[in-house]
Amino acid sequence: MIPNWMNQADVQPCHCSTVSHGKKGFVGKTIDGILGFLDEAFLSETFSRRPGLLQSLDPRAKLVSILALIFATSLIGDLRVLVFIYALTLLLSYQSKINIGFFVKRVWLFIPIFAGIIALPMIFNIFLPGDPLYIVAYLGAGAHLGPFSLPDSIFITRQGTMAAIIFTVRVAACVSAVVLLFLTTPQQILFKSLRTVGVPKIYVLTLQMAYRYIFLLMDMVREMYVAKKARTIRSRGIMDDQKWVGGRIGYTLVRSLSMSEKVHMAMMSRGFSGEVHIMQEFKMTNRDYLYGALAISISLVLVMISQNIIRV
Amino acid sequence: METLFDLKNVSYSYVGKINALKDVTLKINRGEQVSIIGSNGCGKSTLLAILDGLVYPTSGQFYAFGNLVNEDAFDAIADNEFRTYFRTKVGFVFQNSDVQLFCPTVYEEIAFGPLQLNLSAEEVRSRVEDVLEMMQIAKLRDRSPHTLSGGEKKKVCIATVLVNNPDVLLLDEPSAGLDPRTQLWLVDLLVELGRAGKTVITATHDLEIIDQISKRAIIMGEDHQVKMDHDSKSVLSNYELLLSANLVHEHTHLHGKMVHEHLHFHGKAHEHHFDKDKN
């Protein structure tokens, strides 16, 4: 059956040795990133199963409480109150048996990207006038940048710095609240509880399915890379790798489209007719009502503080 | 006989928590035909992935051809002599055919490997034609891999690996999803490759093909450890062991190479052939 050239095995021992130490290729690094994401998702799931304060609450009470807190926080302009809210989220994370270091890292990883870029220009007198705190450059009279005229000197303002700090702490407090919600609630239950705030059923179902298939597609991408690695004898150039990645992106799209058709057919064969029915298994207890009322009360007080009805 | 693969206390866990292999120590010699058997999720595929240098032990060491296989050497951009040698000598047929096929046509798919071996264009063409004929897939040459049936994809996958003429062949569940005729054809192919001196390592839970394709069988337990490493015949005749590794059901019976199940009725004692055979 087998051709002659295959009908023999090389019995010479290997005379080469492992010597190379070098950088990983961009495809390998991307796959590491994917595995890192899966790792983190797995870790998040373990937090949601711990016997902590927020984990024990009904997800609907939790969702409404966190949304109320975020709404109130977004109205607050007093730094001390914002720091108090941030400290409150840290306390809640401790009470929910979430590693504080992990929690703080997870929140502050995104703050410089999202809030920092917006807040940074605020500190300069070009955008917000104010009292000088630190002079960055002296330009002299009549300075201009293209059609825009510039002030005599560029400096960091006291008011601008305060506004940037307030903005950043506000974002940190809000992001912390959302991260707390995600870490203490299993994804599927979280999506289901979105129904309580009026998100239509079809969106909830789509979210649930999308979340599930992200993992499936990631696993497929990881397997494709590993299979390519198994068949790559010599390192190929970066252009070749880029071509391969391009081809695989197209293939993944074709696969995901065909998979979505099959999933839809499987749903239809099990009685799906466009109307979504989701099992509601949540049960509110007195404790959930109590915590919900407490969170809404705190939020109301915060709103009153923001409107100067209560002075601190 | 020269040792090709040497695993020393190898463990592997996914995302640092889910164990796939636990403290596995074994050697595989040149020219051996070995089956790795075990129930679903016992770590067979992970063991094969380690043997192919695709993932690396979380703890323990894996030596191939006398060299330590690690991430530094195998995942670096820069070429190294040993990795090239390893990839030339070892071929891996994946369980999921879809992930292994990435070229626009079957012909290009099969030519991908030999083109990296620095063979002349004529030699590549000749090898591809030989393999197309051997695998009986010549009529699929211009088809796109994703339009093929499951069995056809599996044949193309095997072709893409064999065309490089590897000395070591790793196969993950090669008979899964194949029709009986193609399964028999595959068994004949693996037997012939074994006779040609190739090292063939097959992960499977298809008990019927084990003593045809291998002389040695390694049973992986559900605790992700090696339960038994012995000659295929004695492993297959150890019914209690197969039962404890979840490879057979209490109503499964082995008669030499034959494996079959009996209909049974609840509430009525079932007469076991195995007990009879023992007596």
Q: What amino acid occupies position A291? A: Y
Q: How far is CA B226 from CA A4, A216, B28, B36, B44, in A?
A: 37, 30, 14, 10, 10
Q: Chain A partners of B61 at a C-beta cutoff of 8 Å?
A: none
HSE (CB half, 13 Å, CA atoms) of A93?
Answer: 26
CATH of B30-50+81-248, one of 3.40.50.720, 3.40.50.300, 3.40.630.30, 1.10.287.70: 3.40.50.300
Q: Chain B partners of A247 at a C-beta cutoff of 8 Å?
A: 102
What is the DSSP-derived secondary structure letter of residue B198? -
Residues of chain B with pLDDT under 50: 263-265, 267-270, 273-279
State chain A's maximal CA–CA distance in angstroms: 92
The more confidently predicted of residues B27 and A253 is: B27
Q: Looking at the complex, report in whole angstroms how far the Cα of residue A159 sits from the nearest Cα belonging to chain B.
A: 47
In this predicted structure, the answer to whether residue A117 has a pLDDT above a threshold of 70 is yes
Q: Looking at the complex, report in whole angstroms how far the Cα of residue A294 sits from the nearest Cα belonging to chain B.
A: 38
Helices B180-195/B150-162 angle, 10° precision = 10
Split at pLDDT 50, 70, 90, the class of A91 is: very high
What is the DSSP-derived secondary structure letter of residue A14? P
Under an 8 A CB cutoff, do B84 and A233 touch? yes
Give me the pLDDT at residue B278, please. 45
Average pLDDT estimate for A90-108: 91
Q: Chain A partners of B130 at a C-beta cutoff of 8 Å?
A: 3, 5-6
Give me the pLDDT at residue A278, please. 63
Q: Looking at the complex, report in whole angstroms how far the Cα of residue B85 sits from the nearest Cα belonging to chain A.
A: 8
Q: Chain A partners of B164 at a C-beta cutoff of 8 Å?
A: 233
Give me the pLDDT at residue A309, please. 85
In this predicted structure, the answer to whether residue A270 has a pLDDT above a threshold of 60 is yes
**For B65, which of A14, A20, A228 is closest by C-beta distance?**
A14
Q: Which of A60, A66, A61 is nearest to A93 (CA)?
A: A66
Give me the pLDDT at residue B268, please. 46
In this predicted structure, the answer to whether residue A126 has a pLDDT above a threshold of 50 is yes
Give me the pLDDT at residue B253, please. 59
What does the pLDDT look like over B76-97, one tens digit per residue?
Answer: 767 778 888 898 899 999 888 8
**For B96, which of A18, A21, A223 is closest by C-beta distance?**
A223
Q: Looking at the complex, report in whole angstroms how far the Cα of residue A270 sits from the nearest Cα belonging to chain B.
A: 25
Under an 8 A CB cutoff, do B87 and A233 touch? yes
Split at pLDDT 50, 70, 90, the class of A127 is: confident
Provide DSSP, A98-138: --HHHHHHHHHTTHIIIIIHHHGGGGBTTTS---EEEEEEE
Under an 8 A CB cutoff, do B80 and A19 touch? yes
Helix (H, G, I), strand (E, B) or coil at B62: strand
Split at pLDDT 50, 70, 90, the class of A137 is: confident
What residue ranges in A181-309 does DSSP mark as E strands?
Answer: none
Split at pLDDT 50, 70, 90, the class of A10 is: confident
Which segment of A115-119, A280-284, B58-62, B142-146 scores lowest on mean pLDDT? A280-284
Secondary-structure breakdown of chain A: helix, strand, coil percentages, each rounded to the nearest 5: 65, 5, 30
Which segment of A152-161, A220-229, B21-30, B72-81 scores lowest on mean pLDDT? B72-81
Residue ranges per structural domain of chain B:
30-50+81-248
Give me the pLDDT at residue A146, please. 79
Predicted TM-score (pTM) of the model is: 0.72
Q: Looking at the complex, report in whole angstroms how far the Cα of residue B260 sits from the nearest Cα belonging to chain A.
A: 30
Give me the pLDDT at residue A20, please. 60
Helices A100-108/A79-95 angle, 10° precision = 130
Residue of B56, B75, B168 to mutate when probing chain A, most A C-beta within 10 A:
B75
**For B117, which of A6, A10, A233 is closest by C-beta distance?**
A233
Q: How far is CA A159 from CA A125, A162, A163, A272, B241, in A?
A: 9, 5, 6, 58, 77
Give me the pLDDT at residue A204, please. 80
In this predicted structure, the answer to whether residue A134 has a pLDDT above a threshold of 50 is yes
d(CA B179, CA B118) in angstroms, rounded, equals 36
Element holding B231 (H helix, E strand): strand B226-231
Q: Chain B partners of A261 at a C-beta cutoff of 8 Å?
A: none
